[in-house]
A = this chain, B = another copy of it.
Amino acid sequence: MVVTKRIGLQTKGHCDIIDITPEVEQKLGETDIRNGTVTLFVAGSTAGISTIEFESGLLSDFQSMWERNAPKDIPYDHDRRWGDGNGYSHVRASLLGASLVIPFNDRRLALGTWQQVVLVDFDNRPRSRQIIVQIMGE
């Protein structure tokens, strides 16, 4: 059985990290599927999906890691060509990855207690995002 849902949200961009765990759990609860996988996918090339312990210290630490490893303030060929100034956003998103697959059993996601599912919006401006939540199982 396959059920497809969508989560729509507004981000602030600039490495905004948004906890989408409650929405994912809600979408799962709307189906009759007991065991299977939830595949999350964000359309667009300047955002990614991962898990993190959602507390403000780590959100800041994760953002600092991106600033060290794919800095905003170095030259990007993308920006030279297109002038939109978000070359760093694209590079970060390609490295983090656009999808995440989480198993669930008896309707419960296999997440740890201090492990939340997050959308990371790397773009350099606020964005409206849609996350596909595809639930497959039996």
Residues of A whose CB lies within 8 Å of any CB of B are: 1-2, 4, 35-37, 39, 41, 43-45, 50-53, 55-58, 60-62, 65, 68-70, 76-82, 87, 90-91, 93-103, 105, 110-112, 114-115, 132, 134, 136-138
Q: Is the CB of A99 within 8 A of B96?
A: no
Taking CB atoms, residues of chain B closer than 8 Å to A1 are: 138
Q: Is the CB of A87 within 8 A of B57?
A: yes
How many copies of this chain does one complex carry? 3
Q: Using A57-B79, A61-B90, A62-B91 as known contacts, list a sample of 9 further A-B pairs with CB atoms less than 8 Å apart, ordered by residue number in A.
A: A36-B136, A45-B53, A50-B97, A53-B90, A56-B81, A57-B78, A57-B81, A58-B78, A95-B96
Q: Is the CB of A77 within 8 A of B102?
A: no
Q: Is the CB of A57 within 8 A of B45?
A: no
The docked-state distance in angstroms from the alpha carbon of A78 to that of B56 is: 8
